Amino acid sequence: MMDCKKALTEAGGDIEKAAELLREKGLASAVKKAGRIAAEGIVAAYKEGNVAVLLEVNCETDFVAKTEQFQALVKSVAEIIIKEAPADVEALMATACAEGTVEEMIKNAVATIGENIKVRRFARAEGYTDTYIHLGGKIGVMVVTDVEPEAGVIHDVAMQIAAAKPTYLAKEDVDADEIAHEKEILRAQALNEGKPEKIVDKMVDGRIQKYYKEVCLLEQPFVKDDSMNVSQMIGGRFQVQSFVRYEMGEGLEKRNDNLAEEIQKLQG
């Protein structure tokens, strides 16, 4: 209200001019906030027809991430991705929308919400898909299959991905250089453990199979019944063509609030 009164005074009582001033000041504030760390937020999934989207949108605090205004913004961005199919985040920012472009829509949201907001990443898929959101937006998964799957089974696959963090779909997808490097490490480990060299290669092969069970979705023990792997659980009813797993904030620098330091700055 104080901002509105100041704007009206500055605009000489002209309401339209005051609204423009408020918007200009808001956007200027948004520019200032653009450099602040945004490592909270949500991972969300939306589906319309045969198109599904998984996206991560970041803000500065968990409090804002839980607000209706922020979540409505995330939904609006997802709907644009579904409809316009931008190639990447840069293309998404330039995509036209009711507020001009998505970039302008985000800036307007920053001005009103009061925190830096960034669309970090998204994945869009058409066809037979299933999505799963865990812990209220902390982890999100999207799975694409070749035929329409049984709902319960594909959802079990999505939950498997959320829980077990596979990096690859199948053994064949693991990079050959990565396997060669892993074998070098495992061989050195075995020799350092004092194992006879004549059995080291067999040990390395055994450990590589264990490595596959850790990083390849289809080789992982099924979380609901570890007597079989995920491939056996699916049982040929459909094929998983691809999957995406986002964990909110992974790899981002976290904001470090130091209250004592802030008070000292204010007093200084």
pLDDT in tens, 4-28: 677 677 778 777 776 665 555 554 4
Q: What is the mean pLDDT of the chain?
A: 87
Asked if residue 71 belongs to a domain, the reply is yes
Asked if residue 105 belongs to a domain, the reply is yes
Tens digits of residue pLDDT in 180-207: 998 899 888 888 888 888 898 888 999 8
Q: What is the domain range of residue 2?
A: 1-33
If one compares 263 and 252, the residue with the highest pLDDT of the two is 252
Asked if residue 85 belongs to a domain, the reply is yes
Give the C-alpha separation, 153 to 155, whole Å: 5
8 A C-beta contact, residue 240 and residue 145:
yes
- In the chain, the percentage of residues whose pLDDT exceeds 70 is 84
Asked if residue 51 belongs to a domain, the reply is yes
- Assess whether 61 and 92 both reside in one domain: yes
Asked if residue 246 belongs to a domain, the reply is no
Asked if residue 23 belongs to a domain, the reply is yes
**Model confidence at 261: pLDDT above 60:** no
Tens digits of residue pLDDT in 87-131: 999 999 999 999 999 999 999 999 999 999 999 999 999 999 999
- Assess whether 43 and 122 both reside in one domain: yes
- The last residue of a domain, from among 103, 126, 149: 126
Asked if residue 215 belongs to a domain, the reply is no
- Assess whether 122 and 57 both reside in one domain: yes
CATH number of the CATH domain containing 57? 3.30.479.20
Q: What is the mean pLDDT of residues 75-81?
A: 98
Asked if residue 6 belongs to a domain, the reply is yes
Place of tokens 């507020």: 99
- Assess whether 22 and 48 both reside in one domain: no
Per-residue pLDDT band at 146 (split at 50, 70, 90): very high
- Assess whether 24 and 103 both reside in one domain: no
8 A C-beta contact, residue 185 and residue 193:
no
- Assess whether 112 and 79 both reside in one domain: yes
- Our count of domains for the chain comes to 2
